[in-house]
Amino acid sequence: MRYSRHRRSWFLVWALAALPILVWVGCSDEPSTPTGPQNPGFGECGDATIFSPRDFSNPTVIDNRFFPLAPGKQFILDGTANRGGGTLAHRVVFTVTDLTKEIDGVRSVVMWDRDYNNGVLVEAELAFFAQDDDGNIWTMGEYPEEYFEGEFLGAPSAWISGRKGSEAGILVTENAPVGTKFLQGWAPDVNFLDCAFVYQEGQTACVPFNCYENVLVIDERSPYEVGSGHQRKYYAPGVGVVLVGAVDDPEGEKLELINILELNEQEMADARAAALKLEARAYEVSDAYRRTKRMQ
């Protein structure tokens, strides 16, 4: 499960992997200015907060009550998903690293994600998050590598806010009322647009790891992916995502939180090394990524 919902068919991934890599020659390293009104997501997704680097005074302290990110936390969710080969056992492992990366003028927390189908790695991703001064969590970009039978296919869905027209979006709000709509991210270069709205609040969710009260439910959709349906994510206070459900979505990803781990010093070092290894390849294969500053 990626935190944004953008996906491609295996056929398209293979086709893109076969194409020669083109080098983007843009040269600006300046953070983007608010451009929401020109973004087609505003109106399609709603007109919530427009991204501005000025709104982030302490962005790597992520203590939003529904999505706190502390370095060393690892979340494991199990379930099922259909990625084109039938419904299979699916596991995702989210690890909050102690790395940060400056994106679009905002220092962001680096999360290392891994997706497994039937125990086989199908996706590894770097995802970047920052918290604004109102407590909202923003997705600043994603670098997802895709694999088939252990072979690297490519990273055709990578996007970085401020690069090639892409814009950050809100993953989860802090205090927005039910019905509030917001953009989760827009990347025209990879035909990516994610929208969301606050579907429910004050819910109860019981998963193998625990039962939770006062759960926030966010409904997500990808307007550019016709027929992709909706995904609903259940955010428990003080924890984060504990349950994922699908509505009229052919991928049908369903996940439940089964464990939360605290990594020790060696495990943190291993996670850091794995994230840095992903970044090294990102500079080689991703036009959007190669002009960003390195993680630290």
Note the pLDDT tens digit of each residue in 212-266: 999 999 999 998 888 889 999 999 999 999 999 999 888 889 999 999 999 999 9
Question: Which of 70, 4, 78 minimizes the C-alpha distance to 242?
Answer: 78
Distances (CA, A) of 237 to 7, 20, 129, 240: 28, 45, 18, 7
Q: Which residue has the tokens 């055709």?
A: 156
In the three-class reduction of DSSP (H, G, I as helix; E, B as strand; rest coil), residue 12 is classed as helix
Question: Which of 16, 278, 291 minimizes the C-alpha distance to 164?
Answer: 291
Residue type, 215: V
What pLDDT score was predicted for residue 2?
55
In the three-class reduction of DSSP (H, G, I as helix; E, B as strand; rest coil), residue 152 is classed as strand
Q: Indicate the pLDDT class of residue 45, thresholds 50, 70 and 90.
A: confident
Question: Which of 158, 55, 64, 142 minimizes the C-alpha distance to 101?
Answer: 142
Average pLDDT over residues 275-295: 96
The pTM (predicted TM-score) of the whole model is 0.88
Boundaries of every domain in the chain: 42-285
Per the CB < 8 A criterion, the answer to whether 145 and 124 are in contact is yes
Asked whether the predicted pLDDT for residue 164 surpasses 90, the reply is yes
In this structure, whether the domain defined by 42-285 belongs to CATH 1.20.1070 is answered with no
